[in-house]
Amino acid sequence: MCLSLLRSLFCAKGGEQPSPGNWVPWSKIVIQDGNLTAILPVGVKYWLCGVGESGSMDPVMDAGTMCLMFEVKDGTPVSADDLIVGDIAVYRKPTEVNNFLIRHRIIGKGEDELGRYFTFRGDNNNSPDKFRIRDDMVRWVVAAMFYGKEET
């Protein structure tokens, strides 16, 4: 009883949550002369982008957060086979013709008659996203996040 109460007070959603995969080995992250360097895997297309204000991924990701993302594509070092529950990934919303992208956490994986699918949810949302996201809809996976500020 006491342990359950402590978990509900101090752990998100009442218990341990799956963490994202480790995309960059520690041995490939170096700080030298005040510069942070990450040696990225050969053949990986990457994207460093800022996050806008949406609220769906609060508190882990908010306006101003910078994300280092790796492209998810078959035949490259990062494919959908590498994604795990807990990863934060970007997918193309299947009902949009304009390639509207959503950045949420993978909360489940499954199989049906069409093959593998992923279930996503924003950390600050109460319910999962309503779509079954197929491998080819997942575009990017978040490899690292940086919480910085504008220089003055």
pLDDT of 16 strictly over 80: no
Map out the domains of the chain as residue ranges: 19-146
Higher pLDDT, 29 or 64: 29
Task: State pTM to two decimals.
Answer: 0.83
What is the largest distance, in Å, between two alpha-carbon atoms of the chain? 55
Q: Burial letters for 34-52: b for 16+ Cβ neighbours within 10 Å, e otherwise?
A: eeeeeebeeebeeeeeebe
Q: How confident is the model at residue 6 (pLDDT cuts 50, 70, 90)?
A: very low
Q: How confident is the model at residue 5 (pLDDT cuts 50, 70, 90)?
A: very low
- Computed over every residue of the chain, the mean pLDDT equals 86
- What fold does the segment set 19-146 form as a domain? Umud Fragment, subunit A (2.10.109)
Say how far apart CA 125 and CA 111 lie, in whole Å. 24
The reported pLDDT for the residue numbered 77 is 86
